[in-house]
Structure 1
Amino acid sequence: MQIAESLIDWIHAHWVTNVLILHISLSLLTSLHVLLFKENDRTSLAWIGLVIFSPFIGSMFYWLFGINRIKRLAQKEHPQTLKEDFRNQASALDFHSLPDAWHSSITAGYAIHPVSFVAHNAITPLINGDTAYPEMIRSIKNAQHYVVLSSYIFDYDSLGRQFVKALAEAHQRGVTVNVLLDGIGVGYSWRKSDRALKKRGVNTARFLPAVSLTGIRFINLRNHRKILCVDGEVAYIGGMNVSKNNLVKTSKHPIDDVHFKVTGPVIDQISKVFVEDWFFATGKRIQFPLFDLHKPRPEKSHPIVARVVQDGPDEYHNRIRWTLINALVCAQKSVKIITPYFIPDKTLMTSLHAAALRGVAVDIIVPAHSNIPFVDWVMEANFSRILEHGIRIYKNKRPFDHSKIVIIDDVWSFIGSTNWDARSLEFNFEINLECFDSSLNAQLTQLFNEKQKNAELVIKEEMSQLPIYKKIRNNLFRLFSPYL
């Protein structure tokens, strides 16, 4: 008892020294981690400054939000032999009779992400939830063997309850159903959708729960993928969460978006991404049916050549960024981008400017007002820099447009869940389809043109005439753009 009292008295008498020693030790440990694992020099210096000059708080923020990489397949509980099982088995490089100008892109793309392009796919754009959701629910209702669904947000609203009902009914008739929800995204509905599914016997899992003994330091890493695969016969991917706000015709707060219905052998690549995510979240492997190439189908032959490009703060880091850079190098006539958030890093912006300098027409559509005001301020701060060399930016006056599409020339397109910002390209787990097809590009170009009619061209002179307080506000938030 006397020893304990003496220790307390000593701590009380030297508390300033103890706090200082603790701060120095924690700052040193955190700074060493920054030096060893951060790649960006400016970001590293900013973190070290925050850690040193904000005792304890700076270190806490770093360990919560600064760690943007995670090793999934390399964990001890994931044997090395399982790695190859999750990889899409790549075949010999095949150019599929695509234009010669894109052969170098295909070669480089295969080196960036060694997943083969596969032919005979059909990809149908589904505009807004009014078109997409009935198709998705119909596919679930027609499922015979297996349904997998991954969503960042799954609202338990009138639309979400339709999905819950369809999934539960599929489970009741003997279909295997697995639903993967992001650990943060599930909180948008206070986990009501998760509980409703479990109550009806549907198998659910959470990807990186927001709070757990092992996962709290990965609170900044989110699964942003939207995947629905049914029986290996049909799949849906894109930018659309499960929410009634995407029902533009009836929603009080409508969100424009586009999803894609996929049929063909590329479905196997989509489902394997889900299988890998499910194993990471649960430790359990599932066997999802493969697309049957020999099954007779009434549809005509489908011409689209496509492959999956997945990305995340793990073994697949930077693959979408490099895929975009690779494609921009090959652009000859036009680049068209639709994105809800346009805050590209310096490398991507340089690639766009290089294309514009070659005479390529670069047009970008962003929302006039997104759902995150300070992101709008950062985009506005960057407009003057972006507009150099003839790049054009249009602000869509429609309700918030959440669409994510890149169209290059009349043959290449990139569709899926990725935004043009650090959150998507650094922190999120994303999935996209890289496609070659002139007919698909024509459909996407028509969609682009329709959105452009409702958009206002950004004029550089107008940006220079902004009130000084807006310039200060915009550029202040621009400093934090790597973390938005």
Structure 2
Amino acid sequence: MQIVASLIDWIYAHWVTNVLLMHIALSLISSLHILLFKENDRTSLAWIGLVIFSPIIGSLFYWLFGINRIKRLAQREHPHPLKADFRQPCSALDFHQLPEVWHSAIKAAYAIHPVNFATNNQVTPLINGDSAYPEMIRSIKHAQHSVVLSSYIFDYDSLGRQFVTALSDAQQRGVRVNVLLDGIGVGYSWRKSDRALTKRGVNTARFLPAVSLTGIRFINLRNHRKILCVDGDVAYIGGMNVSKNNLVNTSQHPIDDVHFKVTGPVIDQISKVFVEDWFFATGERIQFPLFDPSAARQSAQSTTAPSQVVARVVQDGPDEYHNRIRWTLINALVCAQKSVKIITPYFIPDQTLMTSLHAAALRGVAVDIIIPARSNIPFIDWVMEANFSRIIEHGIRIYKNSRPFDHSKIVLIDDVWSFIGSTNWDARSLEFNFEINLECFDSNLNAQLTQLFKDKQKNAEPVRAEEVNQLALYKKIRNNLFRLFSPYL
């Protein structure tokens, strides 16, 4: 006991030295790990600075939030037979009669993410929850075999309860229903939707639970995908969570957004992503019905809607699919000849993407970006504002939409290419989140989304250089201070 007491007295007498030694040891170990395993130079430098200048806390923050163990976990737990098998030799690539300027991009696209482009799809924009939710619930009510739903946020509000009822009713009539909720996003509703579904017998799972008895879960890694697939006949993807706030006509806190109804063979690629995610979360391999072309032809005979979209899924995440969306965007921007239009709630691109946009603007491409005048995260607005002067100096135009917070995520290039899905233009989406997008070639779809862009532009004010220059000094300091943390946002 005397030895223990002496040791405690020594620690108490030399606590400053001990804390300093601990800080030096942790900083050294953390910095070496950053140098060995972080690929992004700017992010690495930022992490090292945080580790060194925030004694102990910086190192703890790095080990909690800065390490991606999901890639190794995914490679170990995802067997190759489960992977989506849509590959074909590059020599057999079909350019689907698309403009020749895009042929090299299609070759590169396959090299970036070796998933085939599927033809004869129909992609229908559904503006806000007022249009999207009735369609989604109607599809669930008509399901005959299987429904899979993945959502980042599933609020247990008046709208969420409609989904819970539709899903549980489908389960009771013999439809197999699987609902996957993000381990962090489910907390937005205090897990009420999770518990309500489970209570009604719906098979639910959480993707990377924040708290788990089997290991440490990293709250920085989130499943941001929004997927609904029904029977292999119809799918819905986009940026819309399950929340009454997306009912713009009736919500007290409206959120503008756009979702997409998808029919055609590309549904199989969408459902495969869910199957992989479900296996990752539960270890269970589920079977989902494949798209039936004959049934689709019969359905097409009863409607005049065109089904000509050439599309494929591009999935991304901090696993083996890392950087697929970033490279897809860079590849498409190289092909831009006339225009680039972007709608995003958060615009904090990394240097590579920003350089690609500037390069397009410098060669005469009209680059227009619509962001919210005010997002749902104030410090994100400050970071975006800090970057305005750097962005507009080469002719890129930014518009601040004064409508309710706009959560839409769309990229349009010229009059043929569209990129839609769950991805934002920020480090969180491009580095940490699991995302799903559709890369589409179709002039009709592009025209519809271009009109949507123009409609939003009518409610937006352009960012002007004089406005940026006249910003109060304290705001410039605040904005640039938060900009230093953009790799983590």
* TM-score normalised by L of structure 1: 0.96
Cα deviations by residue, 1:298-344 (Å, 9 ceiling, x for unpaired) = 31561110000001111111110110010010011111111111111
Q: Distance in 1 between matches of 2:215 and 2:243?
A: 27
Cα deviations by residue, 1:421-469 (Å, 9 ceiling, x for unpaired) = 1111111110000000001011001111111111111111111111111
Cα deviations by residue, 1:13-59 (Å, 9 ceiling, x for unpaired) = 65555444443333332222111111122322332232233332111
Letter in 2 for 1:435: C
Equivalent position of 2:280 in the other structure: 280
Equivalent position of 1:470 in the other structure: 475
Q: Distance in 2 between matches of 1:10 and 1:21?
A: 15
Structure 1 contact 150–274 (Cα < 8 Å) conserved? yes
Equivalent position of 1:362 in the other structure: 367
Secondary structure of the corresponding residue to residue 110 of structure 1: helix
The alpha-carbon deviation at position 159 of structure 1 amounts to 0.2
Letter in 2 for 1:89: F
Structure 2 contact 126–261 (Cα < 8 Å) conserved? yes
Equivalent position of 2:329 in the other structure: 324
Letter in 1 for 2:351: K
Equivalent position of 1:50 in the other structure: 50
Q: Distance in 1 between matches of 2:212 and 2:219?
A: 10
Equivalent position of 1:297 in the other structure: 298
Equivalent position of 1:268 in the other structure: 268
Equivalent position of 1:90 in the other structure: 87
Letter in 2 for 1:450: D
Letter in 2 for 1:64: L
Letter in 2 for 1:381: A
Secondary structure of the corresponding residue to residue 236 of structure 1: strand
1:57-456 equivalence runs, <5 A: 57-68=57-68, 70-71=70-71, 74-78=74-78, 82-91=79-88, 92-213=92-213, 216=216, 218-295=218-295, 296-299=297-300, 302-456=307-461
Residues 479 and 440 from structure 1, CA distance in 2 versus in 1: closer, same or farther, beyond 3 angstroms? same
Q: Distance in 2 between matches of 1:254 and 1:154?
A: 16
Letter in 1 for 2:193: S
The alpha-carbon deviation at position 358 of structure 1 amounts to 1.2
Letter in 2 for 1:407: L
Aligned-pair identity in percent equals 84
Deviates more, 1:142-151 or 1:45-54: 45-54
Residues 15 and 438 from structure 1, CA distance in 2 versus in 1: closer, same or farther, beyond 3 angstroms? same
Residues 12 and 272 from structure 1, CA distance in 2 versus in 1: closer, same or farther, beyond 3 angstroms? same
Q: Distance in 1 between matches of 2:338 and 2:372?
A: 24
Structure 1 contact 34–44 (Cα < 8 Å) conserved? yes
Q: How many residues align?
A: 481
Q: Distance in 2 between matches of 1:77 and 1:305?
A: 32
Secondary structure of the corresponding residue to residue 137 of structure 2: helix
Cα deviations by residue, 1:239-259 (Å, 9 ceiling, x for unpaired) = 000000000000000000000
Q: Distance in 1 between matches of 2:175 and 2:433?
A: 30
Q: Distance in 2 between matches of 1:77 and 1:269?
A: 20
Q: Distance in 1 between matches of 2:235 and 2:450?
A: 23
Letter in 1 for 2:469: S
Residues 389 and 18 from structure 1, CA distance in 2 versus in 1: closer, same or farther, beyond 3 angstroms? closer
Residues 418 and 77 from structure 1, CA distance in 2 versus in 1: closer, same or farther, beyond 3 angstroms? closer
Structure 2 contact 345–407 (Cα < 8 Å) conserved? yes
Letter in 2 for 1:406: V
The alpha-carbon deviation at position 84 of structure 1 amounts to 3.8
Structure 2 contact 209–217 (Cα < 8 Å) conserved? no
Letter in 1 for 2:393: E
Q: Distance in 2 between matches of 1:72 and 1:153?
A: 26
Secondary structure of the corresponding residue to residue 299 of structure 1: helix
Structure 1 contact 367–400 (Cα < 8 Å) conserved? yes
Residues 377 and 8 from structure 1, CA distance in 2 versus in 1: closer, same or farther, beyond 3 angstroms? closer
Structure 1 contact 209–215 (Cα < 8 Å) conserved? no
Residues 370 and 16 from structure 1, CA distance in 2 versus in 1: closer, same or farther, beyond 3 angstroms? closer
Secondary structure of the corresponding residue to residue 299 of structure 2: coil
Structure 1 contact 68–220 (Cα < 8 Å) conserved? no
The alpha-carbon deviation at position 93 of structure 1 amounts to 1.4
Structure 2 contact 74–280 (Cα < 8 Å) conserved? no
* TM-score normalised by L of structure 2: 0.95
Residues 277 and 72 from structure 1, CA distance in 2 versus in 1: closer, same or farther, beyond 3 angstroms? farther
Q: Distance in 2 between matches of 1:56 and 1:246?
A: 42
Q: Any gaps of 5 or more consecutive residues in structure 1?
A: none
Q: Distance in 1 between matches of 2:111 and 2:433?
A: 22
Letter in 2 for 1:124: T
Structure 1 contact 157–243 (Cα < 8 Å) conserved? yes
Structure 1 contact 72–280 (Cα < 8 Å) conserved? no
Secondary structure of the corresponding residue to residue 121 of structure 1: strand
